[in-house]
Chains A and B, each alone.
Chain A
Amino acid sequence: MTRDQESGARSQESASSFQLPASNRKHSLIGTSPQRIEGRAKVTGAATYVDDMQFGPNLLHGMLKHSPIPHGIIVRIDVSKARALPGVRVVVTGEDFPGYTGLYLKDRRIFALDRVRYVGDTIAAVAADTPEIAQQAVDLIEVEFEPLPGVFDPEFGASPEAPLIHPELGNYEAVPFIFPQPGTNVSNWMKVRKGDMDKGWAEADLVYEHKYRVPHIQHVPLETHVCVAQQDVNGKITLWSSSQSPFAQRNLIAKALHISHSKLRVITPYVGGGFGCKAGVSMEGAAVALAMNAKGRPVKLRMTREEEFYTTFVRQGLVAIIKMGMTQEGRITAVHNRFYWDGGASTEYGTNITRAAGYSGTGPYYVPNIHIDSLCVYTNHPVGGAMRGFGMPEIHWGIEQHIDQMAEKLGLDPVQVRLINCLKDGDETLTGMIMHPTGLSQCIQKAAEAIGWTSPPAPLLEGEGSHKRRGKGLAAMWKAPAMPPNPGSSAIVRMNEDGTATVSIGGVDIGQGALTAMAQLAAEGLGVKIEDVRVNTVDTDYSPYEWQTVASRLTWSMGNAVLQAAENAKLQILQTVAEAWNEDINDLDIIDGQVVSYRSEESRSLRDIAVYGMQRPDGTWIGGPVLGRGNFMPEYVTPLDPETGQGPRAVVHFTTGCQAVEVEVDEETGEVQVLKIVSAYDVGRAINPDMVRTQMEGGAVQGMSTALLEGIILQNGVPRNPNFTDYRIATAVDAPLELESIIVEVPQDDGPFGARGVGEHPMVPTAPAIANAVYNAVGIRIDSMPITSEKVWRELAKTRP
């Protein structure tokens, strides 16, 4: 079914049953790369972020009291000294807000009540006249603990010997597709069972198992979490929040604090990076709790860089045990994978990551016989949440190295092995979904070609006799938007008196370029120039609903809503003109802000029509202010069987891709220099090709940074490197010398102009591609991230006599 047919099916409630003919689609802006519409604001310092907003001297400064121990019973909290400190206006604790909250599993409180579960757990919050007083007040809060034994490893945590971190797990409310195991630390057990494992192993010429590890990663947005909350005289609360999810924040906080959705307003201006950590709710609930007791004064809560590292969301750690069978020819016969996720102290968001890992657990390959267990395990570690890739970088770290290991043991070319097994149009995925048309094979071929897969590495920078060795590696990937089956998008296109259009959306531009892509879609759908489209940032009182800015879903889902709203506005305008001019609507069009008639060759500016309407021949008026509406929600995702993970349609679609890298390894020091990264992704249709490439570039370097440098060092639950001094991320000097980005376009049937998302995907295969290239260069396999110089050196030392 084409997109046009489907939009016809969806638009029954629009202004008329009439649909714009497909020939009306000019695609003049689609596939072009206009500059970022907020670019000028960002390069001049004029772009306003939450911390830049001015609230006057009445502003209170919030601060959180964090647990210093990883696990323990709270015996006593004494806030009396803090309350008595002059300048302290509010102190709140769990007793004031005892309810549970969470996105997929309600296992979290805004403030710890009876026990703390990680170093950084929030125990209390204060608001004071100055940050200095707030800090003094936090220091004056006395908390007495009875320490409990901790769980610091997910495999141990899943075992019967482990102490229980959430004894109440059985009472927690969960969405229907999450399967907590009461009486254990397993908050979700996602199973995939398919085919006949015995048969699969019997058909294999090689069966090989290996364990891979991924540490906790921090997102490191340059802007830390920050919000301001204020309650007005009617009890209505406004939350200015640096968020990827203004609507989800409204929903979760309203429910947790038992306030009406209409009494909570979330405003999100520009956001200084998110990468998943600003999805859902982390510390914003505490700010609202403070504001509810602040007698109308606004309360700001801003995480320091140190707090950002371990008290907001982190990417979960993973232990993956991968077992694969393969024939001599390179065909995968069976996969048995066990994923032990280090979910941290709460898995309200992380449970769905472990589900995504389950239904994507083979990687992008056709496998007939499958046994996958993806276990979300409570540990006394920081709270796991969404991060760019949502479980995929973690599982592909193992899967994509495993493919290379299998290929090598069988004497096969890893590129050929991937091409043999990779999913193609019509293949059945591990959950029984039929794979839609996908450019995965093309991506693998193009990436391999661009890195010069079949030619030897380029000569060394330092010439012969050097202690440096070069190698190439490659990894493929797939990722579906991981979300509930029914996440909605909506959009409003309002016409202004001067013929320009204002687009209201509920999705957030966190740097990915959503405002610009939506402006393109609106301009295209309406028939105006992109300069004549303004796209608003989010205010839940005025913006239409959007589930969350996650899952690489905005261009696809919100894009559909914006395009529909623009076309709806266009339709209303053309209906007015058709009646006023007594013409057939099929002869009318809007081009660059002018309504034109192909029959009469008359034209009229939108300026004259869009708000004031038009005069009929008899002197009366028709039309009026034009307000286009659009919405989108996938209506075809099916549940999966809890015991087998099977179902007709697990997800909306998969974006696929491949990365190839060339590295240079210093055999003496173990240092890895990434020379080049080639990224090739099937984006369906690139609405703005240049911005697609910026996503590929940024994702590749973020992936490289996690591959070589990153990991939160946790010793008995204590973060040892919560700062930029010891949590290093890649700098301009570390970035690859060359990046190449290749766009493959196999259209998505229900995406706007065929588009599907690509925001997260470019960091998924980078790390295993680098690991494969390091192996290719020096013959050592690093199975635990990150690939530090020291690890490379240590493994190399083992190979020497």
Chain B
Amino acid sequence: MNHDIHLIVNGEAYLLSVPAHHTLLQVLREQLVLTGTKNGCEAGECGACAVLVKWPGADHAEPVNSCMVLAPEADGAEIVTIEGLAHDEQLDPLQEAFITTGATQCGFCTPGILVNARALLDRTPDPSETEIREALVGNLCRCTGYVRIIDAIEMAARAGREVAR
């Protein structure tokens, strides 16, 4: 019951044989050893496994919880995980802002939040605080109380606007 699928993950193409009942999360973590994407609940509730997926035919990537995608479904998809957020040692402004503001503590929720925040800023470069909070409602964090995460996303949005200017 294995299926062959094509995936592009962080710009690299893969041809993989995946069990039908495995999730995209399992493929990323177990087969590709991209372990930055975390397993927090396997029920779509915590957001620790969020990745960006550009489905075949879609014009842009969207965040999904990778525990909620069956591996064979992802055939042909382009995926960005936390490992693909930085380019050539250059951190994403969100990653810089998370370090600067102290928005990460234990760090387990951080990859999913960063990926989801990247998607937020891609579709809404200048989000209000309310929009940031609502966009994060599916990303649980038990350490920080969220305030610095919100600050970091605001900081990265400002940085992004300055680059755009």
Q: A51 an interface residue at 8 Å Cβ cutoff?
A: yes
Q: A444 an interface residue at 8 Å Cβ cutoff?
A: no
Contact call A273/B150, Cβ cutoff below 8 A: no
Contact call A724/B106, Cβ cutoff below 8 A: no
A36 contacts across to B, CB distance below 8 A: 99, 102, 104
Contact call B95/A221, Cβ cutoff below 8 A: no
A724-B46 contact in complex given A35-B102, A272-B107, A698-B143, C-beta closer than 8 Å: yes
Contact for B40 among A271, A305, A511, CB less than 8 A:
A305
A44-B106 contact in complex given A272-B38, A725-B43, C-beta closer than 8 Å: no
Contact call B36/A44, Cβ cutoff below 8 A: yes
Contact for A694 among B33, B37, B148, CB less than 8 A:
B148
Give Cα distance in the complex from A224 to B40, angstroms: 7
**Contact string against B for A residues 281-322, beta-carbon threshold 8 Å, 1 for contact and 0 otherwise:** 000000000000000000000001100000000000000000
A511-B137 contact in complex given A44-B91, A45-B82, A702-B145, C-beta closer than 8 Å: no
Q: A427 an interface residue at 8 Å Cβ cutoff?
A: no
Residue in B closest to A274 when the chains form the complex, CB atoms = B106
Q: Which of B56-64, B69-77, B128-136 contacts A (4 or more CB under 8 A)?
A: B128-136
With both chains docked as a complex, state the minimum distance between the C-beta of B122 and any C-beta of chain A, in angstroms: 18
A48-B35 contact in complex given A35-B99, A723-B45, C-beta closer than 8 Å: yes
Contact for A724 among B82, B99, B140, CB less than 8 A:
B140
Q: B15 an interface residue at 8 Å Cβ cutoff?
A: no
Q: B157 an interface residue at 8 Å Cβ cutoff?
A: no
Cβ < 8 Å to B, chain A residues 687-704: 690-691, 694, 697-702
Residue in A closest to B26 when the chains form the complex, CB atoms = A131
- Interface size class on chain B is 35 or more
Contact call B106/A697, Cβ cutoff below 8 A: no
Contact call A690/B102, Cβ cutoff below 8 A: yes
Contact call B137/A731, Cβ cutoff below 8 A: yes
Give Cα distance in the complex from A699 to B145, angstroms: 7
B91 contacts across to A, CB distance below 8 A: 40, 43-44
Contact call A304/B137, Cβ cutoff below 8 A: no
Contact call B142/A275, Cβ cutoff below 8 A: yes
Contact call B148/A697, Cβ cutoff below 8 A: yes
Contact call B142/A221, Cβ cutoff below 8 A: yes
Give Cα distance in the complex from A733 to B145, angstroms: 11
Cβ < 8 Å to B, chain A residues 44-87: 44-49, 51-52, 54
With both chains docked as a complex, state the minimum distance between the C-beta of A468 and any C-beta of chain B, in angstroms: 18
A732-B150 contact in complex given A694-B102, A698-B144, A701-B145, C-beta closer than 8 Å: yes
B126 contacts across to A, CB distance below 8 A: none
Contact call A222/B106, Cβ cutoff below 8 A: yes
Contact call B104/A42, Cβ cutoff below 8 A: yes
A222-B105 contact in complex given A44-B82, A739-B145, C-beta closer than 8 Å: no
Give Cα distance in the complex from A690 to B98, angstroms: 14
Give Cα distance in the complex from A701 to B141, angstroms: 10
Cβ < 8 Å to A, chain B residues 12-47: 29, 33-43, 45-46
Cβ < 8 Å to B, chain A residues 20-44: 35-36, 38-44
Give Cα distance in the complex from A699 to B95, angstroms: 24
Contact call B95/A44, Cβ cutoff below 8 A: yes
Residue in A closest to B111 when the chains form the complex, CB atoms = A45
B138 contacts across to A, CB distance below 8 A: 731
Give Cα distance in the complex from A140 to B88, angstroms: 51
Q: A512 an interface residue at 8 Å Cβ cutoff?
A: yes
Contact for B99 among A39, A45, A224, A273, CB less than 8 A:
A39
A272-B36 contact in complex given A35-B100, A305-B43, A735-B146, C-beta closer than 8 Å: no
A51 contacts across to B, CB distance below 8 A: 35, 39
Cβ < 8 Å to A, chain B residues 61-119: 81-83, 85-86, 91, 95, 98-100, 102, 104-111, 114
Contact call A735/B107, Cβ cutoff below 8 A: no
Residue in B closest to A700 when the chains form the complex, CB atoms = B145
How many Cβ-Cβ contacts under 8 Å join chain A to chain B?
163
Contact for A222 among B35, B38, B81, CB less than 8 A:
B38
Contact call A222/B109, Cβ cutoff below 8 A: yes
Contact for B35 among A45, A513, A697, A731, CB less than 8 A:
A45
Contact call A694/B105, Cβ cutoff below 8 A: yes
Contact call A511/B149, Cβ cutoff below 8 A: no
With both chains docked as a complex, state the minimum distance between the C-beta of B66 and any C-beta of chain A, in angstroms: 13
Contact call B106/A221, Cβ cutoff below 8 A: yes
Secondary structure class of chain A's binding surface, majority of residues: loop
A492 contacts across to B, CB distance below 8 A: none
With both chains docked as a complex, state the minimum distance between the C-beta of B83 and any C-beta of chain A, in angstroms: 5
The number of chain A residues with a CB under 8 A from chain B is 55
Q: A729 an interface residue at 8 Å Cβ cutoff?
A: yes
B132 contacts across to A, CB distance below 8 A: 732
Contact call A731/B38, Cβ cutoff below 8 A: no
Contact call B148/A272, Cβ cutoff below 8 A: no
With both chains docked as a complex, state the minimum distance between the C-beta of B102 and any C-beta of chain A, in angstroms: 5
Q: A220 an interface residue at 8 Å Cβ cutoff?
A: yes
Q: B164 an interface residue at 8 Å Cβ cutoff?
A: no
Q: A137 an interface residue at 8 Å Cβ cutoff?
A: no
Contact call B99/A43, Cβ cutoff below 8 A: yes
Q: B147 an interface residue at 8 Å Cβ cutoff?
A: yes
With both chains docked as a complex, state the minimum distance between the C-beta of A190 and any C-beta of chain B, in angstroms: 30
Q: A510 an interface residue at 8 Å Cβ cutoff?
A: yes
B104 contacts across to A, CB distance below 8 A: 36, 39, 42-43
**Contact string against B for A residues 340-359, beta-carbon threshold 8 Å, 1 for contact and 0 otherwise:** 00000000000000000000
Give Cα distance in the complex from A324 to B109, angstroms: 44
Contact call B83/A44, Cβ cutoff below 8 A: yes
Contact call B43/A732, Cβ cutoff below 8 A: no
Give Cα distance in the complex from A691 to B42, angstroms: 31
B82 contacts across to A, CB distance below 8 A: 44-45
Q: B48 an interface residue at 8 Å Cβ cutoff?
A: yes
A46-B36 contact in complex given A35-B102, A39-B99, C-beta closer than 8 Å: yes
Residue in B closest to A304 when the chains form the complex, CB atoms = B42
With both chains docked as a complex, state the minimum distance between the C-beta of A591 and any C-beta of chain B, in angstroms: 27
Q: A270 an interface residue at 8 Å Cβ cutoff?
A: yes
A702-B107 contact in complex given A44-B82, A733-B133, A735-B147, C-beta closer than 8 Å: no
A-B contact sample (16 more), CB < 8 A, given A220-B142, A699-B145: A35-B100, A39-B104, A42-B104, A44-B83, A44-B86, A51-B35, A54-B33, A222-B141, A223-B106, A273-B108, A274-B106, A512-B105, A697-B147, A698-B105, A698-B145, A701-B145
**Listed A/B pairs (23) with beta-carbon separation below 8 Å:** A40-B91, A40-B99, A42-B104, A43-B110, A44-B36, A45-B35, A45-B81, A45-B111, A49-B35, A54-B33, A219-B142, A220-B142, A222-B108, A222-B109, A275-B142, A304-B42, A698-B142, A700-B145, A701-B147, A724-B41, A724-B140, A732-B137, A733-B134
Which residues of B are in contact with A by a Cβ distance under 8 Å?
29, 33-43, 45-46, 48, 81-83, 85-86, 91, 95, 98-100, 102, 104-111, 114, 132-134, 136-150
Q: Lowest 10 CB-CB distances: which A-B pairs, in order?
A: A45-B36, A511-B106, A701-B145, A272-B108, A42-B107, A511-B105, A45-B82, A52-B35, A724-B45, A732-B136
Which residues of A are in contact with B by a Cβ distance under 8 Å?
35-36, 38-49, 51-52, 54, 219-224, 270-275, 304-305, 510-513, 690-691, 694, 697-702, 723-725, 729-733, 735-736, 739
